[in-house]
Structures are given as C-alpha cells and as structure tokens.
Amino acid sequence: MKEKEMVLTRGAERKAYVKQMFNGIAHRYDFLNHFLSGGVDIYWRKKAIDKLNVQTDDMVLDLACGTGDFALETAKAKGCRVVGTDIAQRMLVFGKQKLQKKKQGHKISYINGDGEFLPFKTGRFNGVTVAFGIRNMGDIHSALSEMKRILTKNGQAIILEFSLPVNPLFKSLYLFYFNHILPKIGRAVSSDSQAYSYLPASVEKFPAVSEFKGWMHDAGFSKIKHWALLNGVAVIYRGINEEEL
C-alpha cells in the first residue's frame, strides 16, 4: 500500500504501519524531533504540562509516550508518578535507557500497549497525556474513549498535537517546509524513506480544532479548552472527565 493511501487508512493496517515505522526510527527519534523543530517541541511540552492539574501523589498515564520526554517532564514538573505506554516496543527501549540516566526510575514506569485497548482498570489515573501521538491511532475515537475510561472523576486529559497555521502566508511557508524540506532531512538522518513524509501527510489529514474538540466531547469529555501555539502549528487540548465512575 502506498504511503499516501496508508495515511487515509484507519484500523489495524494503519496501526501496524505506525508501529513498524516508529520501531524503525527509534534510534534517531529524539535528535530529529529537536533538530527539525529547532527545539521548540521542548517548550511546547512544558506549556502543555502547565495545563495539567495533578498532585504529587497522583498517577498520570502518558499515552504514545515514545522515548519518554513527556513522561520525564511531567514527573519533574508535577512530582507525580507516571506510567508511559507505547505500541512501539523499541521506542520504550530507548525510553528506559534515558530513564536510567535521569535517575527517575522511582516515579516512571513503561508498558508496551495499545492506546485503543489500554490494559488498565477504569478510573485508574488522575491524568492522561499524549503528545503528538493521537493522530497516529488506528481509531482516534476509540483512543479518546479509552483515555476517558481510565480517568478518575475530574481527571484531566491533556493532548498536544500538530495542526495547520491560521495565517495564510505563514501557513504556505510552513507547508513548504513541512512537505519539501523536513522529509528530505528526516530521510537523510533516519535512513527511513517514508517516516518524515508520513508526518506532514498525517497532520494535513488531522481534523481542525473545532472538529477535534467535538470528537473529545463525543468521547465524554467536558469543559474542553484549547490553546494554539506558534500561530496554530501545534495545539494543546484539555478535557475533563466529570462523570461518576
């Protein structure tokens, strides 16, 4: 199946594609994230974590955790315990290596798992986060429903995801970089011929802010808010689970 077709595909095929792709680029994932964004992805993660209201004895799930940058920053900033889960096992291997260097093993643990079928009890976590991973799910609606299910009453979901800029001129410049420059650099450094072409294609197919907030509402979240970053290049979403368990 061609890459562009895969971006449009959901379900098991999309999930298998994403799993294979991220296992393949795990060894260069951190470097490319920081290099291709000019380091601004670190700032975005900090801004997203600022929106998360948890206590030091709370439990937070970091969904699609990758190599653990978001989990590490959450534990550091909030003092809470964090469980990271990702469908790509090799990403977790590098995440565990990073965890040993940071000496935060007492606060963070990693589990290989599927975001659409989370292996946790209902109401297990006080917060759930996902950074740049919700668009990669085979079924985003199922993932959102699972995120709500594992939250306690008044638990929060924080989602950080790419979007498209609002300003037309900025949007055109951004798309030129995203579609023509970024994939070439990504391919050269990661030796993956598709991964960094998949990124812009998947972002362009991701729903607009208003539509995605509607999806969160459909999953049962309330008091949904969003904050645009860098003219809308990325967006922070926050939703609350107000229902009794």
Q: What's the per-residue H, E or C state across the chain?
A: CCHHHHHHCCCHHHHHHHHHHHHHHHHHHHHHHHHHCCCHHHHHHHHHHHCCCCCCCCEEEEECCCCCHHHHHHHHHHCCEEEEEECCHHHHHHHHHHHHHHCCCCCEEEEECCCCCCCCCCCCEEEEEEECCHHHCCCHHHHHHHHHHCEEEEEEEEEEEECCCCCHHHHHHHHHHHHHHHHHHHHHHHCCCCHHHHHHHHHHHCCCHHHHHHHHHHCCCEEEEEEEECCCCEEEEEEEECCCC
Task: Evaluate whether residue 200 is within a structural domain.
Answer: no
Residue-level pLDDT at 104: 66
Mention every residue, 6+ apart, whose C-beta is less than 8 A from residue 203: 135, 162, 163, 164, 178
Mention every residue, 6+ apart, whose C-beta is less than 8 A from residue 231: 165, 166, 167, 170
**Number of structural domains in the chain:** 1
Task: Evaluate whether residue 40 is within a structural domain.
Answer: yes
Please give the order of strands across the beta sheet that includes 59-63.
108-112, 81-86, 59-63, 125-131, 151-162, 234-241, 222-229
Residue-level pLDDT at 236: 98
Residue-level pLDDT at 9: 64
Residue-level pLDDT at 1: 44
| Range of the structural domain that residue 47 is part of | 3-162+208-241
Task: Evaluate whether residue 189 is within a structural domain.
Answer: no
Task: Evaluate whether residue 182 is within a structural domain.
Answer: no
| pLDDT under 50: residue ranges of the chain | 1-4, 6
Residue-level pLDDT at 245: 63
Task: Evaluate whether residue 35 is within a structural domain.
Answer: yes
Question: What CATH number is attached to the domain comprising 74?
Answer: 3.40.50.150
pLDDT tens string 148-166: 999 999 999 999 999 998 8
